[in-house]
Amino acid sequence: MECELVKLDKLSNDETSIYSLFIEEENKTLFDMFIEENVINHKAEVEDIIKRLHNIGKVGARIHFFKVNEGVPGDGVCALYDNPNSYLRLFCIRYGTQIIILGNGGYKPKNVRNFQEIDKLKDENYFLRKVSKEITQRLSEKDIIITKDFKDFEGDLTFNFEDYEN
Amino acid sequence: MKTNKKARVYNSPIVDSILSNISKEELEITEGKMRLAMKIADAIKAKGFNKKSDFAKKLNKQNSEISKWLSGTHNFTTETLMLLQNELSINLINSEIEVKVELKCIYIETKAPNKNNSFNLSSLFTIQKPDYVQKYSFCPV
């Protein structure tokens, strides 16, 4: 599956650049898919997530706005904080306060304690872990760099992952 | 680095569509909540609580309660804000009352025995212009 790291125009702002993965065969990003999959049943929550992301662009991706340690140690995989009366979990990869990559996520019922119990959430989370691992590899090989202002990626931003299933 | 290609900027139609239905006021409310959370988070750190759990312990609260306060999504009660204000020595509630009076015109009625008599009204007053008054004048009635 061909995909590309793209910068989201309306959400990125002075403090934080917000990225997502554009899936070529779907012609949309993982975050677009998250919205499409949830906007009908959870419109208010989707709007709330977009309001928060829009403001993260302005104020910075502070760690306390996220639920951290949703991946393996050090991979930056986290989720946007979901308050006790919300049902949606949106996975992201956070690089300090200035870059986040939005993935997909989904519905997490209140009676489920761990997201791993829901196949959809597990798949989306594990896919982001894979993306993070690949980016880390490319950063170490300098195929990708983070710019001097810490706000952007540059370099080889296209990927080919075999096993993403939406 | 093998290439220095910048990321493509992507304008998402679905994000645009949802953002266009969110008012400026709604975005400002969310921003206010997030900035309040940032102020509290900074004050917790400044007070020397390196772990969220230390601060939770001090307030006799669960860690999850502190996470909720700092998430930028929480609607605080006045009680909680007062508690945080006192514990963290920061100003979260401005309870001072500020009154601004705009003095546009002073009307003084005088009983003059003769309409032809006149006097300089301004000479009766010593007026010091306060900083918050941009200009003043005597208005003819």
Q: Across the interface, which of B2, B12, B38 has its CB nearest the CB of A155?
A: B2
- A27 conformational bin, left if phi > 0, alpha if psi -120 to 50, beta if neither: left
Residue B67 and residue A81: Cβ atoms within 8 Å? yes
Structure-token pair, residue B61: 């609260």
What phi and psi, each to the nearest 5 degrees, are found at residue B40? -70, -45
**pLDDT digit string (tens) for A4-59?**
999 999 999 999 999 999 999 999 999 999 999 999 999 999 999 999 999 999 99
Cβ-based neighbours of B36, under 8 Å, separated by 6 or more: B72, B76, B92
Q: A157 contacts in B (CB within 8 Å)?
A: 5, 7-8
Rounded CA separation A141/A126 (Å): 23
pLDDT by residue (tens digit) across B36-71? Answer: 999 999 999 999 998 889 999 999 999 999 999 999
How far is Cα B139 from Cα B123, in angstroms, rounded to an integer?
A: 15
pLDDT in tens, A98-155: 999 999 999 999 888 899 999 999 999 999 999 999 999 999 999 999 999 999 999 9
Q: Which residues contact A112 (CB under 8 A, 6 or more apart)?
A: A118
Cβ proximity of A105 and A34 under 8 Å? yes
What's the CA dihedral at A126, A48, B18, B11 to 10 degrees?
Answer: -50
Count, residues in chain B? 141
Query: Measured between beta carbons, which residues in chain A are less than 8 angstroms from residue B27?
Result: 51, 54-55
B1-43 confidence digits (pLDDT tens): 566 799 999 999 999 999 999 999 999 999 999 999 999 999 9
Residue B64 Cα, gap to closest chain A Cα (Å): 10
Measured distance CA(B92)–CA(B86) in Å, rounded: 9
Measure Cα distances from B123 to A60, A67, B108, B109, B127 in Å: 59, 70, 14, 16, 10
pTM score of the predicted model = 0.82
